[in-house]
Amino acid sequence: MSSSNNSGKVLKLKSKDNQIFEVEESVAIQSELIKNVVEAGCDIGVIPLLTVHSKTLRNVIEWCQKHVDYVEENDSGSNEEEIKNWESEICEEGNNNGSDDEETKNWESEENNNGSDEEEAKNWESEGNNDGSNKEEVENWEWEENNDGSDEEELENWESKFVDVDKDSLYALLLAADYLSIDSLLERVIKQVADVIKQCRSVEEVRQTFGIKSDFTPEEEEEIREEISWID
């Protein structure tokens, strides 16, 4: 499913518990840490990741792979070509006096409403414009929206499932993402932790969810409850 990247280089990553993982460079460099190692030319042999357990590293690699796949699926050459086709067709239609700059001016200017410019405007304004001749431009131009955002949604759903794990796994992911410097993973896990906290309705529920034991005396508990009562 994932197309091989250009260099095809494979890196060896070693987990805390000494397991070796072979990972394509394009996937591994989602981690800024690893990217720096590669760029500094230190990626000979095995890259040790001292704090990441194999269980977590496996998941992290899965995350990186998914994100590399996603980017490739949505940013492939074929789309670039479609955009070029659309651009040239726009230039051909309507008021073509051979000057691209002027073309730009004509359809960008909102004030400019003579007949030829209206046609210019129609060509690139896809909304409400569905006659046959323009339909193809519309589809090509709107390649992102034409996916119904389903790829983005699909990724979001995948990410949500990915972070729907027990709290220990969540922490391990969080610490790994921080150590390896993988922004996308870090952000998503942080969001998950924050969501879980916000869903808890009481201090006790947060304690239970995160396995935190209270070491306050009953008097202190009462005092604290009083102290924060002002936000209610």
Partner 1 sequence: MSATHRRRLNQPSPDSEDSGILDERILLLVLESIKWDLQVICVTASLNRKLRATAKRLLWRQLCVYRAPRMVATLANGAPNGRIGGGWDALAKLMFYCCGCESTRHFKLSRPSPSHFARASRFSKTSGRSFLSKKCRGDLLFVSDPCEHPMGEKEDDLGIYRGVFRGFMRSKTRACLIRRQVAFEERVRCPYCGTRVWSMTRARLVPKSAARRLGSRDGRLEYFVCVNGHLHGTCWLVPLSSDEEVCDDDDDDGSEEIDGEAYNH
Interatomic CA distance for residues 177 and 187, integer angstroms: 9
Q: Quick one: which of 2, 5, 33, 82 contacts partner 1 (CB under 8 A)?
A: 33
**Smallest distance from the beta carbon of 197 to partner 1, in angstroms?**
6
**Per CB under 8 A, 203 contacts partner 1:** yes
Angle at 38 between CA 37 and CA 44, to 5 degrees: 90
Q: Quick one: which of 98, 127, 198, 219 contacts partner 1 (CB under 8 A)?
A: 198
**Per CB under 8 A, 162 contacts partner 1:** no
Choose between 9 and 16: whose C-beta lies nearer to partner 1.
16
Choose between 76 and 214: whose C-beta lies nearer to partner 1.
214
**Smallest distance from the beta carbon of 47 to partner 1, in angstroms?**
12
Number of residues that bind partner 1 (CB under 8 A): 39
Residue (of 229, 174, 164, 214) closest to 52 by Cα position = 174
Q: Quick one: which of 25, 89, 118, 178 contacts partner 1 (CB under 8 A)?
A: 178
Interatomic CA distance for residues 66 and 68, integer angstroms: 6
Choose between 83 and 197: whose C-beta lies nearer to partner 1.
197
Q: Which positions lie near partner 1, rule CB under 8 A?
A: 32-33, 50-51, 167-168, 171, 174-175, 178-179, 181, 183, 186-187, 190-191, 193-194, 197-198, 200, 203, 206-207, 210-216, 224-225, 227-228, 230-232
